[in-house]
Amino acid sequence: MLLLAQAPPPSLAANYSPSPERALRLRSKSSSRAVIGTASAASKPAAAASSRAGHQRKQVASVANPLVKHCVKLRLSAAYRRSCRRLLLVGLAPILEMCRFELDAIDFLLLLDGVEVPEVLREFSGDVVFVSAAVMKKVSGMQSVDSTEAIAVLHMPRYFCDLGSHEDGDSLHGLFNHPKRILVLDGIQDPGNLGTLIRSACAFKWDGVFLLPACCDPFNEKALRAARGASLQLPIVSGTWHDLHALMTKYDMKMMAGHPESSSDASKGIHSLSKELADSLLNESLCLVLGSEGNGLSSETLQACELVNIPMEGTFESLNVSVAGGIFLFMLQPKYQIDSRTLTP
């Protein structure tokens, strides 16, 4: 019997490479099926299985079920999510939003008893597990199930790479092929801000996001909601300044960092964001670093980057990082994105 109280399975990320990814996902999908099978057996006689519309349907009523414990751990632990290469997404609306990009990303669905499988998910061939209100509250962490009819367990995107679990940077170079624009986040701890920045980077066709230490997990449930599906489309890499420097050197990328004009921790000149500055960078490869509102930019960022601010009128000293990031990402977007927008009638 599979017991989720045991140590998490070995990290699949450690074996990541673009070519064997599908094989790894298939192997770990079999493991998830085993968890669901164990959950079904453990919940008898409260659980019953039936089949309709091609789905394997099961019911789980007990919060002590192994499947429930697995899902709760996915919600609470970033380390467990990465070791399993699975994530938890709560709520029907964000699930349907994700499905627009990659239906195959769903491993299995939890639906509240009495809820029908949504029409857009009829082609989903995986397991559908119907759960009691108590189980839905336990897994979602919410006190009410009024707005929580569905929870999805998703495969971690193949575009995500945690360099801390790799011996070398080969996987990094496989994700970034001659990038022109990389957004670097330095200690962004608010999941809403981080998810919104990923969404903006995707909207303006940046090539990827690099997360420096002290950033929150991009697959935190709140970050996933804020990203609105962008986390499944954009390469996201978690690494150190050493890893970032290697990337910068390999692709000869210019380093710039957003910086409040009034801040006193800048020992060198600061550029003002303008069309002229953006035009001068069109043909250059660029890494843009944004820091947290609380702690600002790290000392490594201040030393390595040219600084740029957003000129503002009045008494305001700074903007929310996701707002400021949206402005930077729009103004400094890659040349091909500007050209395509200009040519659109």
Q: What are the pLDDT digits (tens) for 328-340?
A: 999 999 876 655 5
The pair of structure tokens assigned to 257 is: 């960092």
Cβ atoms of 273 and 321 closer than 8 Å:
no
> Is the confidence at residue 244, as pLDDT, over 70?
yes
**∠280-286-290 over CA atoms, to 5°?**
110
* Confidence band, pLDDT 50/70/90 cuts, at residue 164: confident
Alpha-helix runs per DSSP H in 53-129: 66-76, 78-84, 92-99
**Sign of the CA dihedral 269, 276, 230, 222?**
positive
Q: Report the pLDDT averaged over residues 260-287.
A: 83
Predicted pLDDT of residue 96: 85
What is the spatial order of strands in the sheet that 127-131 belongs to? 50-52, 55-60, 127-131, 106-112, 150-155, 86-90
pLDDT for residue 13 is more than 90: no
Closest by alpha carbon to 71, among 116, 144, 135?
135
User: Is the pLDDT score of 146 beyond 90?
Assistant: no
Is the pLDDT higher at 21 or at 32? 32
Please report the DSSP string for 138-207 in residue order: HHHT-S--TT--EEEEEEPPTTEEEGGG-SSSHHHHHH-SS-SEEEEEES---HHHHHHHHHHHHHTT--
Strand partners, 151: 90, 110
Residue ranges of the domains in the chain? 34-155, 160-343
Dump pLDDT digits (tens) for 31-89. 555 556 555 555 444 444 444 444 556 899 999 999 999 999 999 999 999 999 999 99
Minimum mean pLDDT range among 90-104, 196-210, 268-282: 90-104
Architecture in CATH for domain 160-343: 3-Layer(aba) Sandwich (3.40)
Question: H-type helices in the chain, by residue range?
Answer: 21-42, 66-76, 78-84, 92-99, 133-140, 170-175, 191-203, 221-227, 241-250, 275-280, 299-304, 321-331, 335-343
User: Is residue 293 pLDDT above 90, yes or no?
Assistant: no
- Amino acid at site 72: V
Tokens of 32: 């998830």
CB 8 within 8 A of CB 80: yes
Taking the domain 34-155, which CATH number applies?
Answer: 3.30.1330.30
Q: Which residue pairs from 44-49 have beta carbons closer than 8 angstroms and sit at least 24 positions apart in sequence?
A: none
Note the pLDDT of residue 211.
Answer: 97
What's the longest Cα–Cα distance across the chain? 71
List, for residues 87-139, the tens digit of each pLDDT value: 999 998 888 887 777 767 889 999 999 888 888 887 777 889 999 999 999 99
At residue 323, the pLDDT reads 96
